[in-house]
């Protein structure tokens, strides 16, 4: 009798813990929709809790999630998809996720060499000069531009604080929940590895709930150059937006 009571109490405590937290480890397998072959190294990101993982050599993955969380699957050459976690998934265990291949057409690239004359005075005018301010971040092979180093970058952020109609104010001030995910993305190694190899902004758009044009406009308003916005990888873009947002928060806190 006592054993039954103890077991009942344990079940009750477990139910309470589940209702308070709601997260558990869910499993699945990712396959190619056309031939059912497993896909290795597919990036899986929980858009709600902002944690990520990779599929193993059997296409299997395990990630922490709760019912109604949305998982984002991304793999080079395949269409990214979102899958919502359901009670059935938790009930039946591992499920199969099918991803569809994309037809990738490579555009022709024309390289135009600089024709040098051998005269310094003339060649100095022919060679393009890039005035992008650059710096290094740990984990990145090369340095890249820092918006706050450019003239007028701080004044733009200040202007957004005192002008409610400003783009940065509308983007940062009215989206605190989405912006908080920036820190979570920066702290998750799997997500950082994913972003470092991507240039399409898709994962950033999915997590931050922004359109690509919004991301470009944020960077433009934070004084990042067009060349940086166009050529930076997604991890560099994440760090750039995060830097601008942290500056905005500091200045806005000082105002308050």
CATH number at residue 40: 2.60.40.1120
Regarding whether 90 and 189 lie in a shared domain, the answer is: no
Is residue 171 very low, low, confident or very high in pLDDT (cuts 50, 70, 90)? confident
Regarding whether 135 and 201 lie in a shared domain, the answer is: yes
The stretch 166-185 carries a mean pLDDT of 82
Regarding whether 230 and 165 lie in a shared domain, the answer is: yes
Question: In this structure, is residue 59 part of a structural domain?
Answer: yes
Question: In this structure, is residue 172 part of a structural domain?
Answer: yes
Question: In this structure, is residue 111 part of a structural domain?
Answer: no
Question: In this structure, is residue 221 part of a structural domain?
Answer: yes
Beta-strand (E) ranges in 91-213? 95-99, 134-135, 144-145
Regarding whether 80 and 37 lie in a shared domain, the answer is: yes
CA dist 158 and 110 (Å) reads 42
Q: Please give the tally of structural domains in the chain.
A: 2
Regarding whether 228 and 143 lie in a shared domain, the answer is: yes
Are 82 and 71 in contact by the 8 Å Cβ rule? The answer is: yes
Task: Tell me the pLDDT tens digit for each residue of 197-225.
Answer: 889 999 999 998 889 999 999 898 888 88
Question: In this structure, is residue 143 part of a structural domain?
Answer: yes
Question: In this structure, is residue 15 part of a structural domain?
Answer: no
Task: Tell me the pLDDT tens digit for each residue of 217-248.
Answer: 989 888 888 899 999 999 999 999 988 888 88
What pLDDT does residue 3 have? 53
Q: Please give the structure tokens belonging to residue 158.
A: 């200040």
Domain of 189 in residue numbering reads as: 130-255
Give the SS3 label for residue 37: coil
Regarding whether 85 and 136 lie in a shared domain, the answer is: no
Give exposure, 68-80, as e/b (b: 16+ Cβ within 10 Å).
ebebbbbbeebeb
């Amino acid at each position: 009798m006592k054993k039954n009571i103890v077991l009942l109490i344990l079940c009750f405590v477990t139910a309470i813990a589940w209702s308070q937290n709601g997260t558990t480890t869910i499993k699945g397998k990712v396959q190619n929709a056309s031939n059912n072959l497993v896909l290795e190294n597919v990036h899986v990101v929980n858009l709600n809790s902002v944690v990520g993982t990779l599929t193993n050599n059997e296409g299997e993955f395990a990630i922490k999630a709760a019912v109604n969380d949305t998982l984002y699957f991304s793999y080079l050459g395949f269409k990214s998809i979102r899958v919502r976690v359901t009670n059935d998934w938790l009930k039946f265990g591992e499920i199969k996720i099918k991803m569809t291949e994309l037809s990738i057409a490579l555009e022709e690239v024309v390289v135009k060499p600089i024709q040098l004359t051998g005269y310094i005075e003339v060649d100095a005018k022919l060679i393009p000069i890039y005035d992008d301010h650059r710096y290094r971040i740990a984990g990145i092979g090369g340095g890249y531009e820092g918006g706050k180093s450019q003239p007028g970058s701080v004044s733009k952020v200040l202007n957004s604080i005192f002008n409610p109609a400003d783009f940065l104010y509308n983007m940062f001030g009215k989206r605190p929940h989405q912006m908080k995910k920036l820190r979570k993305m920066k702290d998750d190694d799997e997500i950082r590895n994913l972003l470092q190899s991507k240039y399409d902004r898709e994962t950033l758009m999915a997590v931050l709930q922004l359109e690509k044009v919004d991301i470009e406009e944020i960077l433009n308003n934070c004084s990042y150059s067009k060349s940086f916005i166009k050529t930076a990888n997604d991890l560099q873009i994440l760090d750039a937006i995060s830097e601008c947002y942290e500056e905005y928060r500091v200045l806005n806190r000082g105002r308050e």
